Structure 1
Amino acid sequence: MNKSAAGVALGLLSLHFWLALPTYHGFITALMIGSVVCFYFRWRLLIYVGIGACLANLAATSYLKNVQLALIEPRNITIVGEVSSLLNHKKLDTLFDFVTSELPQSGFRSSKTLRLRLSWQDQNNIPVMKQGEHWQLQVRLRPPHGRVNSAGYDRERQFVSKGIHGVGVVISGVRLASGQHTLASLRQMVFDRALEHTESLSHQGYLLALGFGYRGALEARDWGLLRDSGLAHLMAISGLHIGLAIMLGWWSGGVLRNLFGDWPNAIWLPLWLGLTTGALYAWLAGFTLPTQRALLMSLVVLVLLRFRVVWPGWQILLLVFTVSLALDPLASYSAGFWLSFAAVAVIALAHAGGVRFEESSALKLHQRWLGKWRALLLLQLSLLVLMLPVQWLWFGGFSPWAPLVNLLAVPWVSMTTVPLVLAAIVLSPVEQVAMVCWQWANMTLSPVLWIAEWARGGWWMLADRTGSWVLAIAAMSVLLWLLPLRRFAALLVVLSSVALLWNQPFAPNGRQVTGVDGKQEHFKTSEPWQVDLLDVGHGLAVLISIHNRSVLYDTGNRWPGGSIARSVIEPVLKQRGQATLDGLILSHADSDHAAGADYLVDTFEPVWKRSSDYREDYLACVRGEQWQWHSLSFRVLWPPKRVTRAANPHSCVIEVKQEAGASLLLTGDIDAISELLLARLEPNLSPDILLVPHHGSRSSSTTTWLEQMGWLNKMAPKYALVSVARFNPWNLPSRDVHQRYLDNKNVSWLSTAESGQISLLINDQDVDVVRYRQDRKAAWFRPVLPVR
């Protein structure tokens, strides 16, 4: 069983390495042929690997076919289906999940189940929707898409893990049926009652997360607190809470069994009541991945107990891991899946290493309690150290305060808050009693959140270059734990030396120059530099980096509860280990270019700031200004003077170049008139890399601009970069503008809509281009977008 489960799991995980359909189909074919050979030679392990790979291939192929089916019409279509997400009628959600039962296909309506993520076009007139209701909607569908950068949130991967086949905008809708007398409507009804009972409570968002797995009531500040304190796993229905619910059901079943006396059918009442309680709690959570894992593991353990079969813990974990992947192979693209199984694996390893709650009658009461607290502390430290690789891979950092906060919070929340929340839900028909339970649960959260506040701001980001250190620390911790130091001292010393010396850089040679801040800066005469056009949707953010220091040109947009600065720029900088910015330049004042300035100034404290309008503590970014930063020269070409508020025509245009090297022209959103005037002022300007003005709008990149500038009276950049959102409502970039650039056969057109983040590594005149969607983060689920 062990080999078969491991083989199937390996085959299912092969989906994670599926980079392209043809490649993967060849891999599947090779596996199937290999399986036949292994069967002949009795190599059965690879047979199970082949079975798992075929299951993974089936799941991925089915997902891609459904994605294609969701895009049968480029125009508005009418679909029929059911609302599948829990919705808060007190806070009208603009986003909701919808499962179709009918959709048009080749001139007729087809019964096909697709899972869609939809939003209402009219944000001011959103009807009240509830889970389980049937609606007929007029929608405009698009493939699942999102921003692709070197760091930060990957929405496309999340869509795969949740099985979302399409996203779209709802134009109009009609309710067909209320969906009464279904489990979905029952869950919504219980949730609505909880909303009313908790409306006046200070910690409503946390209570709803604990009761229903609903996190829509948590604000950005709450998420920051949970991340910094390491409590994100606790303030939701996790595997821990499912286990607690099963224990409560088991205890209740034991009480009832004693009441029934010697009735033989009551002997297994604790088992079935425990599973039922856990299943009901998982149902309240919407059967999320952690709850599925916990419920399945509990089922395996209790069935083994029922039939008096003894399995080691790792064997149970392997079986549950394999079954979970077999039921949903796409779950491997979810962070929750790996965090859940990794945490259980660490707990099992800690138990094998001697971290146990010893119960001995020979010990005094205080000694037993000290032993329990010691075991809890060691368990939390084990989770902190051994979960580092998973935390780094998925979130880029960790909370060093998590062990201490969890040491106090986990027992308290598990023994007080969760039982009170469950009691409030069960007793929701008795309003007065339910409200008292909710109030008590709310009070029990106050000390936990007070403790968590001490850890606010304590999240430590780990740069990419620290990856080898993270893996080394985790590996050395396991080795020191499992291998006695006295017997394996030589081996541990050698491994420690290798870990310390791994990837250590040599000190660079170069010369000193004075930077814009007056400090001496170190660089080579022709050191490489890098330009990153970040994928920020509609907006602009360009990083110019050299010697692991950066200057940022524009900040992207912001929205209620978030911004590009927080979700894209900050993760990219911290992934590189950069805690500060050397400079910040705002081309003009439009929100899609400058809305994140305040956040970045507070977070990264740039040494200097420049703008083309009057801003406090900002230097001027107007024609005639120039400065040296490392080996790069910055020369401002436009606008001629500062203004009160810089609009598109006042965008700060900057030429960045290295002596005898490639040049970059940053253009912001200048319009045709600004281009004409600039062409007269700089008739010989011919950059190697050109940022296409105004996202490729018709109001810019005029024929005059492209033909009257540059060597031999024509601008001829080697690379034309355009920052634009996929499926934007303005249909940018303009086809005419795109064609003007393509008329020059030597121009490489690079768009963030097609390529995600675009990185150009420049060394003298050599430019290496990296497109993150195609070159670094290519995956079978990322749509192949046509070049525009």
Structure 2
Amino acid sequence: MRQINSLDLQAIMLSLGCLPLMFLPYLPSDTQWYLIAVILVIILLVLPSKFQKCWICVVMFGLSFLWSTAYSKQYLLNIESLIDETLVVNAKVESINTRQFVTLVEPYYVKFSILNNTYYPLSTNMPISIYWDMSEIPKSGQIWQLKLKTKVVHSYLNEGSFDSQRFAIVNRNLLTAKIIQANLLDGKIDIRQSIVDNVLPYINLFTYRGILIALAFGDRSQLNDDHRNIMMKTGVAHLMAISGMHILIVFGISYFLVKVKMFLIPQRFMHFYIPIMIGWLCAVFYAWLTGLNPPALRAILALTIWIYLRYKYEQISKWQKINRIIALLLLFDPLMILSESFWLSCYAVISLIFIYEWIPLSKCIQHKKRWYIIRLLHLQFSLTILLLPIQFFLFQGVSAVSLFTNLIAIPVISLITFPVILFALITCFVNCSNLTFWLWLIAEKSLEWLFYCLNSLKFLWINTPSNFCLLSFVGIFAIIIIRIGFLYRFNITVLIILMILTSPLLKKQDYLWRIDMLDIGHGLAIVIHNGKSAVLYDTGANWQKSSAAERIIIPFLQQHDLNVIGIIISHQHNDHIGGLKELQRIYPNSWLMSSSTQLNNNYQCLAGNSIIWNEITFKVLWPNKMVDYAENEDSCIVQVTDGKFSILLTGDLEHNQEYQLVSLYHNQLESTILQIPHHGSNTSSSYAFLNHVKPKSSLASTSRYNPWKLPSKKIAKRYKDLQLDYYTTARTGQIILFFYKNKWELKTMRAHNRPRWYHNWFGYLSDNY
């Protein structure tokens, strides 16, 4: 038994050795890496026998750390030479195509694997996502010769918003490209695409085709936006992504069917492992059919390890099994530690074990079938409480109706929709067209009924501020304290724990006011706030299917629990006004100020006007007249000041207006911070203007791969020549300014708030960023 305990301790240290990948600001250099390796070798050579177990744990942690960092560095080195280049490559299509029956095909991303590069050889096949806008339709298994302009995924980095750069690294999808030329070399498709082509004529007959495709093949690109929204607001989106639950259902159905068939064969052919092996093979086949995406691959690995541990070590506990499974998964792929779905899966399994062992139902209820609903409610309610911390951390909110929606959705999907889809796929192979159609129809009707229920429950999504994350652990601690009787013996300790958990709610901010320039790509969105309420200057762009307001601005406001009391629009170009309608829908009581008569203004943006808010004054400096449609030259120029420090907000101001401001205001333009006019284009930032503003720091909102290559080299050089510090959101992410009584402080997401190795500036674009 001591040996098993030692093995479990080593598994824990192996997992902990990968944990620094989440927090390291940079990966260790070769010198640092070898130095750590030498220290570990020395420890092994002079290992004190008295503390052997302790030192072995230290060595295991160190070896795991070295392996995880070397693994991550190797991945980055493999793609580094391919970033920001024009390449001619031979590549194989990896993603299945489910669009050939769609009447209107918009550009979309296709996953390829680069087999070889014309200019220099590759050490391994390199995955790449290519933005496909050609008329030809690539299918899985085909070989193409492609001329590409490569890029790297570079996320908008803000508090509260999705981290696409981290997600891309986890999924080995960091390298992307825009296609210049494409020639088909080998049109032969693989088995996966053949199966898809046989099934799609049936699926495309139905309304819920996107969900049917997602459950059958793991391709979520066809999901309807309305369906996505309903699933997210009701907390059932996890059921539509291929994960451990789906793999286990395939294994369970296959295992059960083989067990039934074994009653029909002679006893001499029966073997205990046959149902297990066939169930495992069916699960592997289904995971392969869905593209072996990371969650499916992780589920297959976990299932394989579980089967091995279950029958190799029959006496080990559930906690030991999950501990060893996590360790072996991270040994196979250390980058899993960065995956939110990995943490969610592990946390959910641990929660299930916790419920089973710590908060079980009474035995009389457990064994009575008529108490099924009570058992299901107990399980779902317990899971809801235990999953609150990770829900708050990953999604900045929770659905208040998820308890009820999951009670409906989980049985429907796991007992009807998904099994019927599996049988429909099987009947497609044997050409039972009538039976196949009816099976797909049953799956469609089950989804129709499910979404009818979900649509009536898509309310009460509760957004939670960041300081609620710690408080969400109260439920878990309460269960532990009550279960072990800790409350009656150590009530003072319990009180201290409760005070620690609630301390973020009582914490008083130390700054007077704050300004955040959000990283929204090409556009502008600035939040001026005091920790309770906020005024926005511009609202970012409105994109084809989303907007900066929906994806970045609103999540930021909700994480900080800010109420928008006012919105200032500089002018009416999309990259500045695009999110206005969405923000006014969420915050209908906010006032509006602009220089356009087309907008429903509460305040006119006219030179000389001002607004006082919480000891902060908004002085309007430009324009001197209202217009129908506000262009760059009509930008609403506002100087925000507390009497000691100030920031000059300039929108897309241009040279002529800069000269007029200088002649009107002279030294009154002097400000602590300058929002660089017009994103740093050549039409702005004149010498006269900069010499009168005299900013201590200047901030520009830009996108890394913007087609205008802003800020321009000429303007970047001008700021350097004048020895003016300037920051661009493309390089720094969100820029944060704190204003205190007698000082101010500037922080950026990449350098200060969230310095992580996976947020580095990968590639070789010019330094004017």
**What is the RMSD of the two structures over their aligned residues, measured on CA atoms?**
2.5
Q: After TM superposition, give the deviation of residue 667 of structure 1 in Å.
A: 0.6
Give 1:528's aligned amino acid. Answer: L
Aligned CA distance change for structure 1 residues 11 and 28 (closer, same or farther; 3 Å) = farther
Tell me the TM-score normalized by structure 2: 0.92
Say if 2:577 is the partner of 1:594.
yes
**Bigger Cα displacement from structure 2, 766-775 vs 396-405:** 396-405
Q: After TM superposition, give the deviation of residue 343 of structure 1 in Å.
A: 0.6
Per-residue CA deviation, residues 592-634 of structure 1 (Å, 9 max, x unaligned), is 1101100010012242111111244323212222110111111
CA distance in 2, matches of 1:31, 1:394: 35
**In structure 2, the residue corresponding to 1:455 is in which secondary structure?**
coil
Q: After TM superposition, give the deviation of residue 162 of structure 1 in Å.
A: 0.6
Match of 1:642 in 2: 626
Give 1:55's aligned amino acid. Answer: W
Give 1:428's aligned amino acid. Answer: C
Q: After TM superposition, give the deviation of residue 238 of structure 1 in Å.
A: 1.9
Q: How does 1:257-406 map to 2 (within 5 A)?
A: 257-306=262-311, 309-355=314-360, 367-370=368-371, 372-406=372-406
Per-residue CA deviation, residues 385-429 of structure 1 (Å, 9 max, x unaligned), is 211221222221222221221112212221111111101111124
Q: After TM superposition, give the deviation of residue 492 of structure 1 in Å.
A: 7.0
Match of 1:695 in 2: 679
User: Unaligned regions of 5+ residues in structure 2, if any?
Assistant: 1-6
Say if 2:609 is the partner of 1:625.
yes
CA distance in 2, matches of 1:446, 1:782: 42
Q: After TM superposition, give the deviation of residue 763 of structure 1 in Å.
A: 2.0
Aligned CA distance change for structure 1 residues 492 and 111 (closer, same or farther; 3 Å) = closer
Give 2:377's aligned amino acid. Answer: L
Give 2:179's aligned amino acid. Answer: V
Say if 2:454 is the partner of 1:477.
no
Aligned CA distance change for structure 1 residues 218 and 502 (closer, same or farther; 3 Å) = same
**In structure 2, the residue corresponding to 1:683 is in which secondary structure?**
helix
CA distance in 2, matches of 1:24, 1:342: 34
Say if 2:176 is the partner of 1:146.
no
Q: After TM superposition, give the deviation of residue 172 of structure 1 in Å.
A: 1.4
Tell me if the contact between 1:671 and 1:693 (Cα under 8 Å) persists in the aligned partners: yes
CA distance in 1, matches of 2:511, 2:107: 51
Match of 2:466 in 1: 464
Per-residue CA deviation, residues 144-198 of structure 1 (Å, 9 max, x unaligned), is 3121112201111011101124222111111111243xxxx22222223333212
Aligned CA distance change for structure 1 residues 497 and 354 (closer, same or farther; 3 Å) = closer
CA distance in 2, matches of 1:392, 1:29: 39
Aligned CA distance change for structure 1 residues 611 and 45 (closer, same or farther; 3 Å) = same
1:6 to 9, 12, 16: 12
Tell me if the contact between 1:66 and 1:165 (Cα under 8 Å) persists in the aligned partners: no
Per-residue CA deviation, residues 652-687 of structure 1 (Å, 9 max, x unaligned), is 11111112x111111111222222222222222211
Per-residue CA deviation, residues 244-289 of structure 1 (Å, 9 max, x unaligned), is 1111111111122111121245443211121122112212222233
2:21 to 15, 24, 27: 15
Give 1:19's aligned amino acid. Answer: P
Q: How does 1:543-582 map to 2 (within 5 A)?
A: 543-578=527-562, 580-582=563-565
Q: After TM superposition, give the deviation of residue 494 of structure 1 in Å.
A: 2.3
**In structure 2, the residue corresponding to 1:7 is in which secondary structure?**
helix
CA distance in 1, matches of 2:381, 2:35: 45
CA distance in 2, matches of 1:556, 1:116: 29
Match of 2:454 in 1: 452
Match of 2:700 in 1: 722
Q: After TM superposition, give the deviation of residue 334 of structure 1 in Å.
A: 1.4
User: Unaligned regions of 5+ residues in structure 1, if any?
Assistant: 509-525
Say if 2:724 is the partner of 1:755.
no
CA distance in 2, matches of 1:701, 1:486: 65
Q: After TM superposition, give the deviation of residue 467 of structure 1 in Å.
A: 2.4
**Bigger Cα displacement from structure 2, 697-706 vs 650-659:** 697-706
Percentage of pairs with the same residue: 27
Q: After TM superposition, give the deviation of residue 697 of structure 1 in Å.
A: 0.7
CA distance in 1, matches of 2:162, 2:279: 37
CA distance in 2, matches of 1:53, 1:576: 34
**Bigger Cα displacement from structure 2, 35-44 vs 235-244:** 35-44
Give 2:98's aligned amino acid. Answer: N
Match of 1:511 in 2: none
Match of 2:652 in 1: 669
Match of 1:419 in 2: 419
Give 1:555's aligned amino acid. Answer: T
2:108 to 91, 94, 100: 94
CA distance in 2, matches of 1:706, 1:94: 43
Match of 1:521 in 2: none
Q: How does 1:55-74 map to 2 (within 5 A)?
A: 55-71=67-83, 74=84
Aligned CA distance change for structure 1 residues 130 and 600 (closer, same or farther; 3 Å) = same
| Number of residue-to-residue matches in the alignment | 745
Q: After TM superposition, give the deviation of residue 47 of structure 1 in Å.
A: 2.2
**In structure 1, the residue corresponding to 2:757 is in which secondary structure?**
coil
Aligned CA distance change for structure 1 residues 764 and 308 (closer, same or farther; 3 Å) = closer
Q: After TM superposition, give the deviation of residue 308 of structure 1 in Å.
A: 7.3
Q: After TM superposition, give the deviation of residue 304 of structure 1 in Å.
A: 4.5
CA distance in 1, matches of 2:504, 2:174: 42
Tell me if the contact between 1:537 and 1:724 (Cα under 8 Å) persists in the aligned partners: yes
Q: How does 1:20-169 map to 2 (within 5 A)?
A: 20-22=26-28, 26=32, 29-30=35-36, 33-34=39-40, 36-37=42-43, 40-41=47-48, 42=52, 43-71=55-83, 74-89=84-99, 90=102, 91-105=105-119, 108-110=120-122, 112-120=124-132, 123=133, 125-169=134-178
**In structure 1, the residue corresponding to 2:608 is in which secondary structure?**
coil
Q: After TM superposition, give the deviation of residue 357 of structure 1 in Å.
A: 10
Tell me if the contact between 1:297 and 1:316 (Cα under 8 Å) persists in the aligned partners: no
Per-residue CA deviation, residues 539-591 of structure 1 (Å, 9 max, x unaligned), is 0001111242110111111222211001100111111012x301011111111
Say if 2:185 is the partner of 1:173.
no
CA distance in 2, matches of 1:764, 1:744: 28
CA distance in 2, matches of 1:665, 1:468: 37
**Bigger Cα displacement from structure 2, 128-137 vs 595-604:** 128-137
Tell me if the contact between 2:306 and 2:325 (Cα under 8 Å) persists in the aligned partners: no
Tell me if the contact between 2:712 and 2:768 (Cα under 8 Å) persists in the aligned partners: no
Tell me if the contact between 1:260 and 1:266 (Cα under 8 Å) persists in the aligned partners: no
**Bigger Cα displacement from structure 2, 662-671 vs 679-688:** 679-688
CA distance in 2, matches of 1:69, 1:128: 29
Tell me if the contact between 1:355 and 1:379 (Cα under 8 Å) persists in the aligned partners: no
Aligned CA distance change for structure 1 residues 335 and 500 (closer, same or farther; 3 Å) = closer
Per-residue CA deviation, residues 341-391 of structure 1 (Å, 9 max, x unaligned), is 111110111111253696999x7xxx4221x32222121122212112212
Tell me if the contact between 2:611 and 2:617 (Cα under 8 Å) persists in the aligned partners: yes
CA distance in 1, matches of 2:335, 2:86: 29
CA distance in 2, matches of 1:690, 1:733: 15
CA distance in 1, matches of 2:655, 2:745: 31
Give 1:59's aligned amino acid. Answer: Y
**In structure 1, the residue corresponding to 2:428 is in which secondary structure?**
coil
Match of 1:529 in 2: 513
CA distance in 2, matches of 1:14, 1:506: 28
Tell me if the contact between 1:210 and 1:237 (Cα under 8 Å) persists in the aligned partners: yes
